[in-house]
Amino acid sequence: MKIVIISDIHGNFDALSALPENYDELWVLGDLVNYGPQPVEVIDLVLAKASLVVRGNHDQCIGQGDDPQCSPRFRDMAEATRQFSDSVVTSEQKLCLRSFPPRLTAARGRSRFFLCHATPSDPFYEYRAADSEKWVSDCKKLSADIVLVGHTHIPFIRRLDGQILVNPGSLGQPKTGKPDACYAVWENEQVSLRSYPYPIDRTVEKIRMMPILKGIQERLIAVLQSGGTAPA
């Protein structure tokens, strides 16, 4: 069995639709919306293709009207694109965003999985570095061999005592210093991190057509083109 694991699509349909892998299952670790120009199309494709989806802080924002609690450097971009997403996402899609659970467990082959968007103890909002010791105590409480998280947009695999912690990074707004979309694959009881280029120029054109301030458009574009290294 081959599972593709993605997270933090953020309305970037060009990145999502360019996913190069065939798979038996697609798992999504949240944040389908905001920042990007095509949240409607992203939601529809995820609903059509994904086997498991958990709710992220931006899904909570559009589905429930909550503050996504973004880091300060992204806050005005998040607010501008929240208004855009809220205006185009349908009421049925908002219901779907609300219905995604904050946590999920699953078993495939010999592996038991735990899925959430941010951290097991705070599934929506906590930003936690890969080397934080809080992961050790958090993951010990879980009956899982593999713990899957997203939210930070930074991919990593960390081996704990008898467990593997995996962040696939961001498909739609990577923060790796490169614009390539990031994801993870679980196959034959092994997990790996992967990435691929996508037609980012199309996404840039679509961002420039969004009804938001030009300055915010350009900052969103800079973040995408730089892989998160440009000042936000």
Please report, for the chain, the start and end positions of each structural domain, with discontinuous segments joined by +: 2-226
Three-class secondary structure of residue 92 per DSSP: helix
Give the helix/strand (H/E) hosting 47: helix 39-49
- Across 164-188, average pLDDT: 97
Judge whether residue 161 has pLDDT over 80: yes
- Across 93-99, average pLDDT: 98
Tokens, residue 102: 């904050």
Interval 201-216: pLDDT, tens = 999 999 999 999 999 9
Distance CA 62, CA 43 (A): 12
The fraction of the chain above a pLDDT of 70, given in percent, is 100
Distance CA 13, CA 29 (A): 16
Contact 199, 124 (CB under 8 A): no
pLDDT confidence band for 231 (50 / 70 / 90) = confident
Beta bridge partners of 183: 194
Per the prediction, the chain carries an average pLDDT of 97
Distance CA 173, CA 229 (A): 11
Interval 28-58: pLDDT, tens = 999 999 999 999 999 999 999 999 999 999 9
pLDDT confidence band for 180 (50 / 70 / 90) = very high
Judge whether residue 232 has pLDDT over 80: no
CATH number of 2-226, picked from 3.30.70.2860, 3.60.21.10, 3.40.50.1950, 3.40.47.10: 3.60.21.10
In terms of Cα–Cα distance, which of 17, 23, 30, 52 is closest to 168? 30
- Is the model's pTM score more than 0.75? yes
Q: What residue has token string 């999502």?
A: 16
The fraction of the chain above a pLDDT of 90, given in percent, is 97
Three-class secondary structure of residue 115 per DSSP: strand
